[in-house]
Amino acid sequence: MRSLFLIVATVLLCVVSALSASNESSYVVPIKNDVAIFAHNPMLNDEKPVFMAGTSDRLLVTEASGTMLKVADLKGNSGWVGKDLVRPLVP
């Protein structure tokens, strides 16, 4: 009976751990300075960037679509950037 309780408790801990890990926020940083972030995906003809991001900017990934990521900066600006223009933020 005690071993069954330990097995169930272990399985529950693993499930809770896996669920919390999948809910963690994902952050990226641009690979160079002056990376343009656009309002639309795909970008409209002659669209101007919503904002520019640099290597010191931490961007929260809020959505992914194909080769693009929707990101938001700490000031509340948001828009789309190519996945090839950013890298994962390593804590």
Domains within the chain, CATH numbers bracketed: 26-88 (2.30.30.40)
Tell me the mean pLDDT in the region 47-73. 98
Q: What is the pTM of this model?
A: 0.73
Q: Is the pLDDT of residue 49 over 80?
A: yes
The residues near 80 (Cβ < 8 Å, ≥ 6 apart) are 37, 38, 39, 40, 41, 43, 68, 69, 70, 71
Q: Which tens digits make up the pLDDT trace of 7-48?
A: 644 544 443 344 334 446 899 999 999 999 999 999 999 999
**Residue showing tokens 């789309």:** 80
**pLDDT tier for residue 5 given thresholds of 50, 70 and 90:** very low
